[in-house]
Amino acid sequence: MTKPEQSAAAAETKAPAIYIYDTMARRKERFEPLVPGKVTMYVCGPTVYDLIHIGNARPLIFFDVVHRYLKQFYDVTYAVNFTDVDDKLIRRAEETGREVPELAERNIEDYLTDAKTLKALPATLHPRVTENMQEIIAFIEELVTRGFAYESGGDVYFRTGTFPGYGKLSHQNLEELQFGSRIAVDERKASPLDFVLWKAAKPGEISWPSPWGEGRPGWHIECSAMARKYLGDTIDIHGGGMDLTFPHHECEIAQSEAITGKPFARYWMHNAFLNLNNEKMSKSLGNVVNARELAARHKPEAIRFLMLSTHYRNPLNFTEEGLEQARNGLERIENCRSNLKHLLENATSDAPAPADVLQRLDAIRGAFHAKMSDDFNTPDAITAVFELVAEANAAMAGGAAPASLLREIDGLFKEMDAVLGILTEEGDDLLDDDIERLIEERTAARKARDFARADEIRDLLSSLGIVLEDTPQGIRWKRK
């Protein structure tokens, strides 16, 4: 169950044996990074035409936990790309009378704010399509030169038949795919399975010059080109939602491996989908909840708790009741921690911590790591946090626990939370920036005569204890 080209990494770092379910191998495999001590991670990020919804928040939070966990043992380079030009962005810009770069910039800022609100640690890199155009074009040129791609009427397509491995990630072979493909006949393509690398610009569309004329890249090529530029020919972990397995990741593999002849990613990780009240979230059903709105109504810690209470490879049903339960669970932990803090501030006993309790704390720490290193089993890791709560409550009963024991317990809570990010630290309250952003949004809604939205934001702020005052100088706000 080991990978080719494996290194002696595990022996050289203090990492536990970590097993990751690899979509390609269809089983858990021992994690060994290509370069000892270093991990490269690439997760396909958002197409920045709108705010992210809570479905998008699932990979955001889950891969943040993977990043946080691996960071303890490895030097991790974590890249999340921004697709800042594509059909959806062009359409949305047209609809709203804005320019694509302005729309993208605004949504990137919003994404970064939301990621921070949801307590995701910053990624190392956020490469953008528009800032890597030279590399993307050079990648396509190489594919054309080497016979893997062809130009057709200003577009460029990947000739899927030249890459026998096409389908290996989603476990389909080329014949099956051809047989099953209901893709409409497109005379620009030599075969229906060929996919676009470069799209000729329509009149008036944003475009870049290229050897094939003005145009823009297709979606798949950006990840191959940017992953190679920033992380090298082979990345350790490639992640995303399971909808990306086919065709997106399959196409990335074809492009990258055609050029390099090396495995594109050593481990492929895919999160299952999030449903809202047992329904798929979709624009047509009108049940899309944006992450920002939810995070304004609920503690981000409760959102993370709920997201991490289901294993990432299982579908997650997101409900208000689930959030309520998450809040109750968190409250049990928070109560325990505030008692702990209080006792620590007033502890008088400097007796050594009892050996049997220390042993049990070690067992809890061991269980936490055993679960996290078993394909990031966050629900069971959360169970370990509750075992710590029970142990802490027992130790604190009577009020005479020695300070050294209380510090051990506090340290273990912090150690676990460095990975999960579900506990509130002092100063984590609603930030002024967030309030001001909501007020801005309300002002914009009123300008656009969207009074329903404006009222909704006023009510939301009110429920958060914020009062708005209309003054001649503009809106002022204060906490109730």
- Find out whether 24 and 169 touch, Cβ atoms under 8 Å: yes
User: Helix, strand, coil proportions of the chain in percent (round to 5)?
Assistant: 50, 15, 35
Question: Among residues 18 and 44, whose Cβ is nearest to Zn ion?
Answer: 44
Among 39, 43, 44, 316, indicate the residue that binds Zn ion (CB under 5 A): 44
Window contacting Zn ion (CB under 5 A); options: 135-143, 172-180, 191-199, 219-227: 219-227
Write out the DSSP string of 22-55: ETTTTEEEE---SSTTEEEEEE---BTTS--BHH
Of 386-445, which residues contact ligand AMP (CB under 6 A)? none
User: Smallest gap, in angstroms, from Cβ of residue 303 to ligand AMP?
Assistant: 14
Which residues have C-beta within 8 Å of that of residue 248, sequence separation ≥ 6? 44, 219, 220, 223, 240
User: Smallest gap, in angstroms, from Cβ of residue 40 to Zn ion?
Assistant: 14
Distance of alpha carbon 304 from the chain centroid: 12
Among 223, 306, 316, 461, indicate the residue that binds Zn ion (CB under 5 A): 223
Q: In what order do the strands lie in the sheet with 75-80?
A: 75-80, 38-43, 235-241, 265-271
Binding of residue 253 to Zn ion (CB under 5 A) = no
Window contacting ligand AMP (CB under 6 A); options: 164-172, 270-278, 335-343, 352-360: 270-278
Binding of residue 308 to Zn ion (CB under 5 A) = no
Partner that binds at residue 369, options ligand AMP, Zn ion, none, CB closer than 5 to 8 Å by kind = none
Binding of residue 55 to ligand AMP (CB under 6 A) = yes
Question: Among residues 74 and 111, whose Cβ is nearest to ligand AMP?
Answer: 111
Q: In what order do the strands lie in the sheet with 195-200?
A: 149-152, 155-158, 195-200, 215-217
User: Smallest gap, in angstroms, from Cβ of residue 63 to ligand AMP?
Assistant: 9
Window contacting ligand AMP (CB under 6 A); options: 7-15, 41-49, 400-408, 457-465: 41-49
User: Smallest gap, in angstroms, from Cβ of residue 87 to ligand AMP?
Assistant: 12
Binding of residue 273 to ligand AMP (CB under 6 A) = yes
Among 18, 32, 46, 343, indicate the residue that binds ligand AMP (CB under 6 A): 46
Binding of residue 103 to ligand AMP (CB under 6 A) = no
The phi, psi pair for 373, rounded to 5°, reads -85, -5
| CA atoms of 402 and 84, how far apart (whole Å) | 56
Distance of alpha carbon 398 from the chain centroid: 43
- Find out whether 140 and 228 touch, Cβ atoms under 8 Å: no
- Find out whether 329 and 305 touch, Cβ atoms under 8 Å: yes
Binding of residue 377 to ligand AMP (CB under 6 A) = no
Partner that binds at residue 454, options ligand AMP, Zn ion, none, CB closer than 5 to 8 Å by kind = none
Among 20, 65, 140, 244, indicate the residue that binds ligand AMP (CB under 6 A): 244
Among 10, 29, 59, 127, indicate the residue that binds ligand AMP (CB under 6 A): 59
Binding of residue 294 to ligand AMP (CB under 6 A) = no
Binding of residue 218 to ligand AMP (CB under 6 A) = no
Window contacting ligand AMP (CB under 6 A); options: 156-164, 193-201, 266-274, 467-475: 266-274
Tokens 């075969």 found at: 191
Tokens 């593999």 found at: 253
Tokens 């490895």 found at: 74
Tally of CA atoms within 13 A in the half-sphere of 453 that contains its CB: 14
- Find out whether 218 and 210 touch, Cβ atoms under 8 Å: no
Partner that binds at residue 241, options ligand AMP, Zn ion, none, CB closer than 5 to 8 Å by kind = ligand AMP
| CA atoms of 348 and 61, how far apart (whole Å) | 40
- Find out whether 129 and 109 touch, Cβ atoms under 8 Å: no
Write out the DSSP string of 367-389: HHHHHHTBT--HHHHHHHHHHHH
Of 144-183, which residues contact ligand AMP (CB under 6 A)? none
Closest residue to ligand AMP, based on beta-carbon distance: 241
Partner that binds at residue 223, options Zn ion, ligand AMP, none, CB closer than 5 to 8 Å by kind = Zn ion
Contact residues toward ligand AMP (CB under 6 A) are 44, 46-47, 55-56, 58-59, 240-241, 243-244, 271, 273-274, 281
The contact set with Zn ion (CB under 5 A) reads 44, 223
